[in-house]
Chain A
Amino acid sequence: MKFSILRETLLPELQIIISVVDRRQSLPILANVLFNSTGQGFSLTATDMEVELVASKDEPLGSTGQVTIPARKLLDICRSLPESAKLEFDASKDRVQLKSGKSRFSLASQPAQEFPLTDIEDFPVNFKIAQGVFRSLLEDTLFAMAQQDVRYYLNGLLLEIGPEKLRAVATDGHRLALKEVDISSNVTDTLQIIVPRKGVMELVRLVGDTEDPVEVYVSTNHIRFQIGHIRFTSKLIDGKFPDYERVIPKDSGNHMIADRETLRQSLNRASILSNEKYRGIRLEVKEGSLRAEAQNPEQEEAEEVIQVEYSGDPMEIGFNVSYLLDAIGAIKTEKVNVVLTDANSSCLILPQDESQCKYVVMPMRL
Chain B
Amino acid sequence: MSITPRWPRMIALVDMNAFFASVEQLDDPDLRGRPVGVTNGLQGTCIITCSYEARRYGIHTGMRLREARHLCRDFVQRPARPQRYARVSQNIMDALRDITPDLEIFSVDEAFLDLTHCAHLKGTPESIGRDIKHTVFSVSGIHCSVGLSGDKTTAKYAAKRQKPNGLTIIPPDRARDVLHDVPVTELCGISTGIGRFLADRGVTTCGDMAKLPIGVLGKRFGNPGRRIWHMCLGQDPEKVKTHVDSPKSMGHGKVMPPNTRDRDTILMYLLHMAEKLGYRLRRHAMEAMHFFIGLRYDGGWLADRFRTDMPVSDSRLLHRLCHYFLANYWHGEGVHQVQLTALDPRPAGQQLELFAARSTESSGAHGVVDRINERYGEFTIAPAVLLNRSSMPNVIAPAWKPYGHRQTIY
Q: For window 302-349 of chain B, which residues contact chain A by CB distance below 8 Å?
A: 307-309, 346-347, 349
| B351 proximity list for chain A (CB < 8 A) | 174, 278, 320, 362, 364
Q: How far is the CA of A171 from the CA of B354 in the complex (A)?
A: 9
Q: How far is the CA of A366 from the CA of B245 in the complex (A)?
A: 18
| Contacts between the two chains (Cβ within 8 Å), count | 43
Within 8 Å of chain A (Cβ to Cβ): is B259? no
CB-defined interface of A12-43 with B at 8 Å, one 1/0 digit per residue?
00000000000000000000000000000000
| A173 proximity list for chain B (CB < 8 A) | 353-355
| A149 proximity list for chain B (CB < 8 A) | 309
Across the two chains, which residue of chain B brings its CB closest to A171? Answer: B354
| B353 proximity list for chain A (CB < 8 A) | 173-174, 362
| A278 proximity list for chain B (CB < 8 A) | 346-347, 350-351
| B349 proximity list for chain A (CB < 8 A) | 365
Q: How far is the CA of A366 from the CA of B352 in the complex (A)?
A: 11
CB-defined interface of B226-256 with A at 8 Å, one 1/0 digit per residue?
0000000000000000000110000000000
Question: Which of these, A362, A364, A366, contacts B354 with CB under 8 Å?
Answer: A362
Q: How far is the CA of A171 from the CA of B357 in the complex (A)?
A: 14
Within 8 Å of chain B (Cβ to Cβ): is A297? yes
State the interface size on chain B (CB cutoff 8 A): 14
CB distance from B161 to the nearest CB of A (A): 35
Q: Is the CB of B309 within 8 A of A151?
A: yes
Q: How far is the CA of A242 from the CA of B309 in the complex (A)?
A: 15
Q: How far is the CA of A155 from the CA of B147 in the complex (A)?
A: 58
Q: Is the CB of A150 within 8 A of B307?
A: yes
Say whether, besides A278-B346, A280-B350, A297 and B246 are in contact (CB < 8 Å): yes
Q: Is the CB of B352 within 8 A of A364?
A: yes
Across the two chains, which residue of chain A brings its CB closest to B349? Answer: A365
| A78 proximity list for chain B (CB < 8 A) | none
CB-defined interface of B212-226 with A at 8 Å, one 1/0 digit per residue?
000000000000000
| A176 proximity list for chain B (CB < 8 A) | 354
Q: How far is the CA of A107 from the CA of B319 in the complex (A)?
A: 54
Q: How far is the CA of A174 from the CA of B352 in the complex (A)?
A: 7
Of B346, B347, B355, most buried by chain A (CB within 10 Å of CB) is: B355
Within 8 Å of chain B (Cβ to Cβ): is A175? yes
Across the two chains, which residue of chain B brings its CB closest to A277? Answer: B346
| B350 proximity list for chain A (CB < 8 A) | 278, 280, 364-366
Q: Is the CB of B347 within 8 A of A150?
A: no
CB-defined interface of A241-278 with B at 8 Å, one 1/0 digit per residue?
01000010000000000000000000000000000011
CB distance from B79 to the nearest CB of A (A): 39
Q: How far is the CA of A176 from the CA of B353 in the complex (A)?
A: 11
Question: Which of these, B245, B309, B347, B354, contacts A175 with CB under 8 Å?
Answer: B354
Q: How far is the CA of A151 from the CA of B346 in the complex (A)?
A: 20
CB-defined interface of A156-194 with B at 8 Å, one 1/0 digit per residue?
000000000000000101111000000000000000000
Within 8 Å of chain B (Cβ to Cβ): is A106? no
Q: How far is the CA of A171 from the CA of B353 in the complex (A)?
A: 11
Q: How far is the CA of A363 from the CA of B353 in the complex (A)?
A: 9
Q: Is the CB of B354 within 8 A of A344?
A: no
Interface residues of A (CB under 8 A from B): 149-151, 171, 173-176, 242, 247, 277-278, 280, 297, 320, 344, 346, 360, 362-366
Subset of 21 A-B contacts with CB under 8 Å: A150-B308, A150-B309, A173-B353, A174-B352, A174-B354, A175-B354, A247-B354, A247-B355, A277-B346, A278-B347, A278-B350, A278-B351, A297-B245, A297-B246, A320-B351, A346-B352, A362-B353, A364-B350, A364-B352, A365-B352, A366-B350
Interface residues of B (CB under 8 A from A): 245-246, 307-309, 346-347, 349-355
Q: Which 9 interchain pairs have the tightest Cβ spacing?
A: A150-B309, A362-B352, A247-B354, A364-B350, A364-B351, A242-B355, A362-B354, A365-B350, A174-B351
